[in-house]
A and B are shown apart, each in its own frame.
Chain A
Amino acid sequence: MRRVLVDVAYAVQEWLETFGASQIFLMRILAGCPRALLRPGLIVRQVYASGVLSLAIIGISGLFVGMVLALQGYNSLERFGATESLGVVAALALVRELGPVVTALLFAGRAGTALASEIGLMRATDQLSGMEMMAVDPIKRVVVPRFLGGIISMPLLAAIFSAMGILGAWLVGVVLLGVDEGSFWSSMRDQVDYKDDVLSGVLKSFVFGIAASLLAVFEGYNSIPTAEGVSRATTRTVVLTALSVLILNFMLTAVLIGEV
């Protein structure tokens, strides 16, 4: 019994240490941000790596999520004879929840792993120490541009996901299932609010962008410099990002809706 308690206390302590270290790491990144903005070329390259190269997976996933949302929504709404509301259902679900959350999860899988393993390999092959030797701060040169690239990419990717999803819902709902096109768009425009729905979705994806990018660069930067360590860092990135995005999503939604 005592053993178990000690183990639990140790695990909690270790978790808090890692959490604190990540926050200190975030402070160091933020301190390096103004300098990094003077070299936009580095950031552009990272926006390309984490944003542009994720476009295909985000766009196609968005399209199919929207299409399946329309199928499911039509099926349930038909029971109430309310298929005209299909546009509202699809748009609200996409803009408020699915867009930011699914994009963050896909981003963790597509870009977060790439970031973590890239920085981890730099650590394992002593490139980061090499930079330090040359008096180049690896945080400013390597970590900050990747972090900023992720933050810039995420809201844009989420917006593209939602837009593609609504397009997919339109494709299935209006073109395939024959929901009236006029009521599809007009009921959507009546019910979806610019501030409450679209802006809160963008805010969410921005927060997820910070969480996903921070976890990826933190895990990569602090990975154990072996082949196994890099692979473990990559795995931890995906697991921790998925968990923290889903938990953050609940907290943000509760605050934004304000009904809990």
Chain B
Amino acid sequence: MRQTRAVEFGTGLFVFMGIVALFFLTTRVTNFDSYEGEKGYTLMARFDNVGSLKERSPVSMSGVTIGRVTSVEFDGSELEAVVHMRINSVYDQIPDDSDASILTQGILGGQYIGLEAGGSPDAFTDNDEIQFTQSALVLEQLISKYLFSKAEDSDEE
């Protein structure tokens, strides 16, 4: 009888520890708490080029993450990329003429959407479209621009 209780105690402790470990992995190690579900509103923006922007990339304003990208799609009729993002409802005072640009974190970092505040008195509401957007910088295009301008300079000389 005594041994059975020890077995049961040990098993209970083990299962409890396993669940605590899973809890630790989901809450401390992942971004579980910033997962959808919480209140927010959706914004849409069109870009010529989104670079390597992905679902769940951050949307930030002044460097603070205020939301996440929920989908990146290609609009076949307009020939543009359409990005939907969900903004935390705490930030409901963003002027509706703010512009969105695709920026890069660090040198090797992933890409994110940076919002730059505009001056309009009205704020974005659910399902609004961001009118002013700036595409991701593509390294090859930058380099070719630079090379072409160099070539033109040397032609003039």
Contacts and interface: CB of A to CB of B under 8 A. Distances in A.
Interface of A: 41, 44-45, 47-48, 51-52, 55, 80, 82, 91, 95, 152-153, 155-157, 159-160, 162-164, 166, 185, 188-190, 192-194, 197-198, 202
Contacts of A198: 22, 25-26, 29-30
Contacts of B35: 194
Interface in B106-155: 108
B18 A159 contact: yes
Contacts of B22: 156, 159, 198, 202
A239 B4 CA distance: 33
Contacts, number: 80
A152 B32 CA distance: 24
A44 B20 CA distance: 19
A153 B15 CA distance: 8
Given A45-B7, A48-B10, A159-B25, A194 B18 contact: no
A190 B32 CA distance: 10
Q: Is the interface of A mostly helix, strand, loop or mixed?
A: helix
Contacts of A152: 15
B91 interface: no
Interface in B1-34: 4, 7-8, 10-11, 13-15, 17-22, 24-26, 28-32
A189 to B, nearest CB: 5
Nearest to A87: B29
Contacts of A193: 30-31, 56
